[in-house]
Chain A
Amino acid sequence: MMVKTEIEALKGLLDKYDVPYAGGDLEIKVPLQPWRCNRKYVELKKLVTSETLEHPCLLRFCHLTASSTPLEELLYREFDLAEFICGHKIQALHAVFTDGRSGNVIIKMDNGIVGSVEVGNLLPEGAAEVDRHEIIARRGVGSDMVVDTQIPQQSIYLMTKDGDQAYKDTDSELYGLDEKGIERIRAAFEFLKDPQSAAFHTAQDASLKQAVAAALTSNETHKKIEL
């Protein structure tokens, strides 16, 4: 759900690029997968589709947040990113969680690629999220984390008497909004340019919800689940 400033920013993009819309169109009911518009994931996908990375075999994904993000939400996002970046569907999974707050899933894609999806919401409130998406192929490794580091990099580090701050600004047209807000606006913008994509997003939503439910079931039953 977009907040008021995000809706205003969306209107700005729609007006700038002459995309027709009515007021009601901005309340998008279709379940979008907004991270697909985040340029770092677009670039990772390009590494695969351009065959810069040849024959991916293994994914190593991680996403850690504070408790305000439910585990199901993290699983939904990371499962979708696996399918988006690889261009294949998750075929089977085996999940192990602790107290519904952290754990991991081994996924297998329909072309044989396997992946680990580590999720958790045990970071303290206010801590910066940690995420990593690594693709290991027969030729090359791609990642959104620079080699030999453990936390995502920022663009600016400010260390002053008033404390430390870090900033990552990536979108000049949407300057000042945070990364998740930019994802939501860009996804809504792309959807309003192409409303026909509703069928895809709706089907993908249903498929991802099934995968998330399967992960929870797998955790309870200690069984691999085929999707």
Chain B
Amino acid sequence: MKPVKIAILSLTHGHTRKYFQTLHDNPALDWVAVSAESEEIRDVFYHYGYHEIPCYMSDDEMFDAHPEIEAVVIASANSRHLEQVRNCARRGIHILSMKIPTFDLAEYDEMMKVVSESGIVCQIELEMHYNPVVFRMKELFAKKALGNVASFNATNITLSPVWAFPWQGVPELSWGSRVPLREGDPRFRGGALCDHPHIFDMIRWLTGSDYEYIYAEVGPNLRTDIEEEDIILVNGKMKNGVSFLLDPSWSRLEERLKVPAPGWEIFPKRMEVNFNISGDKGVMLVDSFGPNVYHNGAPNDRYTVQYTYFDEWIGLIDEFVDCIRNHHIPKINLGWHRRTIEAVNACYESVRTGQPVYF
């Protein structure tokens, strides 16, 4: 199969660096170029050692210099996604979108329209779908190993990336506008909840059901100097009767590094996606990112989880290439993902009103 000529836009998203090795190693891809939003970001990119990849200071400059580019990873702040999707659709360039295309549903619908009209592939990066532990969960669900599922509890808890990726700490760039969490609360939408859509997606995928209602509550911030929520709990019920509790908090503290590096975490495990699922035949406990290797060495002599099995980006890219070359629709496409975005929005609405939101 002819390799897909691919580029990365912006380089400001927290997942950007996870693509470097995949784009470099995967023979189905020909990594052509990147665009950076500032010289500082360009310098950070070259710090990773990919000096053979040209870096441009604007998307258009890159596209004009490399008309051979067929596809891009849009790795920017949420607030820039619409303009970049429009640009790619106009140029007929396929898109691998970050996990949040936008929270503004009018913008979202415009993205769906331009993607549909241009005929490009637009795949949403929800990498949990390519995690081998999740493969096993899906298989056990398909076999009804738990019988009828009764309750679904999931965590997607991490450190906060705002020091390394400052746009995630700016409500206008993360959420899309400056909306207070609720009357009298000095904080705004755009924090931990916006960073962690995976479990909102997984419950839909695994149960095959849709949200009936959703309730959310924010706690006092662990980080008192950021202006968005970092602790939030969500519960509710699916239409098939499954009750759920979702925890998408930034509840693991971090060193305030400008570039992610060893020693970023203060709590040993910087990121977890765990599930406790009960059914009428029994219980399933799942750690999607475990077991691992552990140490308390350099740089901070703290007990640390050294992530050991982390290959979601391989399957994700394989599907993207397959969709481009064989004209398939990605399983995680804009249409599928819209309900997950609506669920996140409903959480903020619930926080605002103090009551559940019905779908």
Binding site for A on B (CB under 8 A): 27, 130-133, 135-137, 140, 145-147, 262, 281-288, 290-298, 301, 303, 306, 308-309, 311-312, 314-315
Q: A43 CA to B291 CA in the complex, in Å?
A: 12
- Are B309 and A170 touching (Cβ within 8 A)? yes
* Residues 158-203 (chain A) with a chain B CB within 8 angstroms: 158-162, 167-173, 175
- Are B132 and A169 touching (Cβ within 8 A)? yes
Take A143-B293, A158-B140, A158-B282 as given contacts and tell me if A169 and B27 are in contact as well, using a CB distance cutoff of 8 Å: no
Q: A168 CA to B291 CA in the complex, in Å?
A: 8
Q: Which residue on chain B has the smallest CB distance to residue A45?
A: B293
Q: A118 CA to B293 CA in the complex, in Å?
A: 20
Contact partners of B301 in chain A: CB under 8 A: 139-140
Q: A147 CA to B309 CA in the complex, in Å?
A: 19
* Besides the known contacts A16-B27, A156-B285, 15 further A-B residue pairs in the complex with CB atoms under 8 A apart: A47-B297, A54-B297, A137-B297, A140-B296, A140-B297, A143-B293, A146-B292, A147-B303, A152-B291, A153-B287, A155-B290, A169-B135, A171-B311, A172-B131, A175-B132
Of B287, B298, B314, the contact of A155 (CB 8 Å cutoff): B287
Of A17, A143, A152, A171, the contact of B295 (CB 8 Å cutoff): A143
Of B140, B146, B283, B295, the contact of A142 (CB 8 Å cutoff): B295
Contact partners of B290 in chain A: CB under 8 A: 153, 155
Q: Which residue on chain B has the smallest CB distance to residue A162?
A: B281
Q: A144 CA to B147 CA in the complex, in Å?
A: 34
Contact partners of B284 in chain A: CB under 8 A: 156-159
Contact partners of A144 in chain B: CB under 8 A: 291, 293-294
- Are B297 and A53 touching (Cβ within 8 A)? yes
Q: A140 CA to B291 CA in the complex, in Å?
A: 19
- Are A39 and B298 touching (Cβ within 8 A)? no
Of B136, B262, B303, B306, the contact of A169 (CB 8 Å cutoff): B136
Contact partners of B262 in chain A: CB under 8 A: 52
Of A17, A139, A153, the contact of B291 (CB 8 Å cutoff): A153
